[in-house]
Structure 1
Amino acid sequence: MSLRPLSDIMTRSLLNERPYPESHLNALRLTLFCFARFGCLAVVCLVLSTSSSAEERRPNILLIITDQQHAEMMSCAGNKFLNTPAMDSLARDGIRFTNAYVTNPVCVPSRISMATGVMAGRLGVLNNGVKASVPAEVDNNSLGKLVKRAGYDTFYGGKVHMCPELNPPDAGYDEYFKDQRDALPGACIDFIERKRDRPFFAVASFINPHDICFAYSAYKGKSIKGKQSVAHLFRQASEMPTEQLPPLPDNFRIPELEPDAIELYSKANAVTPAGTMRKVYDERQWQIYRWIYCRLTEQVDRHIGRILDALKRNGLDKETLVIFTSDHGDMDACHRLASKGRFYEQSVRVPFLMQYKGKIVNQVDANLISSGLDLLPTVCDYVGVDVPKGLLGKSLRPLAESKDIDHWRDYIVTENHTGRMLRSVDFKYCVYREGDLRESLVNMSDDPGEMKNLATAPEHANTLNKYRRYLKDWITSSGDQDAESFALAPDPRVTN
């Protein structure tokens, strides 16, 4: 018998047809040569044992994305006005990041960042409805293509809302299921339950609680038709006693010295005309809005629960890394505002949960993470491929698996067409393109509700200057040329 057929036959048999890295296959072939030459079967067993322990089987990965869900819209985050058992189960057996911020607080740019690891502004996208310019290097190293090249079976289901280059059939996904509502859990379950000889990567991208966008239409008696209508929820809430509705948030008031851009960029003809609602909604209407938002979040939680139940039913829950996040939040009546697109916490801070049983221990982590920049490096880390060069994000695996880290990061940045937000552990600094008052500085440790703008306070001049310098550093390190046009220079007369 020739050596090559023996090697091929035993490789397939011993590895049970599972894909292994080429380096380990070469090591195995060398061992098989020793076996064929010297009859050292014990050597084969030893190398296989060493190989499997050194290179653990890569996990399946389930990425769940909701739309327009802020970080506090989970009962595990302390919200008493809704019940989210599926999301809570991920937090209970995993890690919940409490300071996860989007790269941009609207759908298209935020989702582009999650799919590429790149600030969407570098691709020309700072708002919805803007065409992206995607270089080949970014396109070829998008999330789906990276995972597919790593040897995974890939599935994308639900909402896309990105640029054409990132449409799932062209972005590395074997299968694409368009429904983003009730039918999505079943399609995702069908994919993960199939027998396969390689790991899977599945994206379940749900539309809700985004339908809160149509609450104002219901209030006006002009509710749109179809599954996105919330007219039935509006009628139900309108018949309820006020005491059964969620109370107003602690930061319901409009903040002191609010930057002018908050009003300047409010469009009266938007689907959710936040500026108009700020003027015409009374307190009860805001409570009704919040009640509808809770019910929509519970609805998507039930969909998520079906998929998580399927993982457990098929014995896949311990072999699957589950990552859960949202593309942006909703103002949820805070500062008398609705919808997204602002740099306030409810708009930019989102849930971010990771569960990998036996690997990630239950914990709550307050490190600053960027959902759009850190997601792709994290997935690369778990599937075993190099992170594309030049990306600004970091793998969250060391944090999730409680590895010792000397220093994480000083700040994260969120961008959009109105300006930039820079968030550190203690402060949030924002600068806008337009308005007489273009800056805000908030001490997030003392004022988590963002009620007092310190940017004009003389006693905080040193801190303001520090954050102006941070933004200048960001512009240089990240290539944010757009921000250069409106960022305010540090005052040389102020020493930090």
Structure 2
Amino acid sequence: MTDTRPNVLFLLTDQERADLVEPGGLPVETPNVDRLRESGTWFDRAYTPTSICTSARASLLTGLYPHGHGMLNNSHEADAVRTELPAGLPTFGELLADAGYENGYVGKWHVGQTKGPEAFGFEYFGGSDDHHDELDERYRRYRESLDADVGSETIEDAVYADDGDEEMLVSGTTSLPPEATRTYFLAELTVDAIERRAEGGDAPFFHRTDFLGPHHPYVVPEPYASMYDPADIDPWPSYAETFEGKPRAHENYHRYRGVDDFDWETWAELVAKYFGFVTFVDEQMGRILDALERTGLDEETVVVHAADHGDFTGSHRQFNKGPLMYEQTYRIPLVVRDPTRETVSESAAFVRLHDLMPTFLDWADAEVPDRTHARSLLPVLAGDEPADWPDSVYAQYHGDEFGLYSQRMVRTERYKYVYNGPDRDELYDLREDPHELRNLAEHPHYAETRRELQATMADWMDEVDDSLRGWAPKTFE
């Protein structure tokens, strides 16, 4: 009997902002994400459960918020709360394999120090970096085959951040040609995997490619490095940030990251490189989509593009991400092209990155574990949003090398409320202040709104069995 379940191709980027690829977004060339959007579904209100790599990726695998899987901060740092995903938690890779899918994985992992994708139901094809994962050395051999040895690379136009201990490379232009970069290599591995699947058996496949960009350092080859002119890039509206009325951690983080002396001229140079990086990654996605069409697999393969979280790139005068629950790092791109069913072109439903876990299982007709904090997107894709679909989104942050602390966020259509346990809370009226510059948490005019949002947050804590549910609500009033 022929297996009619769809193949799934999942393209995950690292630290990609939603406002770069949304309809009518910033003037950044992303023709291949546009290509997916035009024939698929764009989720306008997609959010990460947490804006830090390991935690978000563990949530994606398990369908759980970080408090549920325990990977509260990055697994490769010295202060890691956990260095491995706890044993016994169901993950979508293992469940898809049990359901008969042939799973492949390329690129970044970053969900543990010793266990890689092969421990979670995937065949790993390579492409990791030695900073986050040391899974193989295929990229080095690939560069040598192109006579582009690692030692031959030089970086021009380099910009560094100085945090007082060491300088960290933030952006630059690599001397390598595009085809010798890791970004290109990840697409090459993916194209090879697709071509092998086209020649294989009847079993459906799930393939995941995790690009390491556009995460900093924003080091890209020509012509992408000079594709965008810094002089044409205006300051983000949130660059007007003064930190007045904000939690103390915001200004501390600005200094801690070593960017407090960056003026807009410097930031514009970084943003231009970031834009170039986004376009470069997009072109590699195009090579992958072309391979699907060339092999005739496109009509039976669902394609999903998302990011683990966003990136500040100077918004709120900040670098990277951290204890700041702003839209630039919590809202993510999410687009789904499903040629096997009728879907809507755009959805305004609040959805989360980890909702993809049960969605992948739904495509595979596999049973979703009882203990998840996520819901399948298939009804929303069809335009049949369930009556009990949430009208808000909930997110968390537990800290990174800057320190461990608890934060919770509720985002509704108009408002955002952020709980900061040891410091002042935040409340933003996103209709009147879309750039989140004015904290209204203590404004008397918004007292009733604050109470309503606090009640919504308490409901979310109960809904997902949050470990703070017995404590935080007592501090709201």
Identify the TM-score tier after normalising by the shorter chain: 0.7 to 0.9
Cα 1:446–1:65 change in 2 (3 A) is same
Q: CA RMSD in A?
A: 2.4
Match of 2:359 in 1: 378
Identity value in percent: 30
Higher fraction of strand: 2
Match of 1:421 in 2: 409
Deviations 1:105-134 (A, max 9, x none): 011100010011111222332222321564
Aligned length: 407
Alignment partners' CA distance in 2, 1:165 and 1:460: 49
Judge conservation of contact 2:60–2:357 (CA < 8 Å) in 1: yes
Deviations 1:49-68 (A, max 9, x none): xxxxxxxx110000110001
Match of 1:110 in 2: 56
SS of equivalent residue, structure 1 residue 385: coil
Q: For 1:122, which of 60, 65, 68 is the aligned residue?
A: 68
SS of equivalent residue, structure 1 residue 177: coil
Q: For 1:345, which of 327, 344, 348 is the aligned residue?
A: 327
Match of 1:284 in 2: 265
Q: For 1:183, which of 172, 182, 185 is the aligned residue?
A: 185
2:210 paired with 1:205: yes
Alignment partners' CA distance in 1, 2:379 and 2:436: 31
Alignment partners' CA distance in 2, 1:242 and 1:83: 15
Match of 1:45 in 2: none
SS of equivalent residue, structure 1 residue 406: coil
Q: For 1:151, which of 64, 78, 100 is the aligned residue?
A: 100
- The offset of 1:482, in angstroms, is 4.3
Match of 2:88 in 1: 137
Judge conservation of contact 1:157–1:188 (CA < 8 Å) in 2: yes
SS of equivalent residue, structure 1 residue 193: helix
1:35-434 equivalences in 2 (<5 Å) = 57-74=4-21, 76-128=22-74, 129=77, 130=80, 131=82, 134-138=85-89, 141-163=90-112, 167-179=116-128, 181-194=183-196, 195=199, 196-210=201-215, 213-214=216-217, 229=219, 243=231, 245-254=232-241, 256-265=244-253, 268=256, 273=257, 276-277=258-259, 279-341=260-322, 342-357=324-339, 359-361=341-343, 363-372=345-354, 374-403=355-384, 405-417=386-398, 418=405, 419-434=407-422
Higher fraction of helix: 1
Q: Which amino acid aligns with 2:366?
A: V
Q: Which runs of 5+ in 1 are unaligned?
A: 1-14, 20-56, 216-228, 492-496
Judge conservation of contact 2:195–2:295 (CA < 8 Å) in 1: yes
- The offset of 1:171, in angstroms, is 0.6
Cα 1:362–1:165 change in 2 (3 A) is farther
- The offset of 1:241, in angstroms, is 6.7
- The offset of 1:480, in angstroms, is 1.8
1:15-26 equivalences in 2 (<5 Å) = 15=1, 18-19=2-3
Match of 2:425 in 1: 439
SS of equivalent residue, structure 1 residue 308: helix
Alignment partners' CA distance in 1, 2:183 and 2:381: 30
Q: Which amino acid aligns with 1:156?
A: Y
Judge conservation of contact 1:104–1:126 (CA < 8 Å) in 2: no
SS of equivalent residue, structure 2 residue 427: strand
Name which one, 1 or 2, has greater alpha-carbon Rg: 1
Alignment partners' CA distance in 2, 1:336 and 1:368: 27
Judge conservation of contact 1:81–1:246 (CA < 8 Å) in 2: no
Deviations 1:352-409 (A, max 9, x none): 000012524451211111112x010111111001110121211111111222532410
Deviations 1:440-466 (A, max 9, x none): 111223322112211111111111112
Alignment partners' CA distance in 1, 2:280 and 2:104: 23
Cα 1:100–1:264 change in 2 (3 A) is same
Q: Which amino acid aligns with 2:287?
A: R
Q: Which amino acid aligns with 2:217?
A: F
Alignment partners' CA distance in 2, 1:188 and 1:369: 27
SS of equivalent residue, structure 2 residue 362: helix
Judge conservation of contact 1:260–1:434 (CA < 8 Å) in 2: no
Cα 1:420–1:265 change in 2 (3 A) is farther
Structure 1 length as normaliser, TM-score?
Answer: 0.77
- Greater relative contact order (CA < 8 Å, ≥ 6 in sequence): 2
Alignment partners' CA distance in 2, 1:98 and 1:235: 29
Alignment partners' CA distance in 2, 1:234 and 1:286: 17
Structure 2 length as normaliser, TM-score?
Answer: 0.80
Alignment partners' CA distance in 2, 1:89 and 1:400: 17
Judge conservation of contact 1:192–1:200 (CA < 8 Å) in 2: no
Cα 1:358–1:200 change in 2 (3 A) is closer
Alignment partners' CA distance in 2, 1:280 and 1:483: 40
SS of equivalent residue, structure 2 residue 325: coil
SS of equivalent residue, structure 1 residue 324: strand
Judge conservation of contact 1:92–1:362 (CA < 8 Å) in 2: no
Judge conservation of contact 1:91–1:362 (CA < 8 Å) in 2: no
- The offset of 1:235, in angstroms, is 8.5
Q: Which runs of 5+ in 2 are unaligned?
A: 129-181, 399-404
Deviations 1:191-222 (A, max 9, x none): 22222211110001000101xx236xxxxxxx
Alignment partners' CA distance in 1, 2:229 and 2:9: 40
Cα 1:404–1:205 change in 2 (3 A) is closer
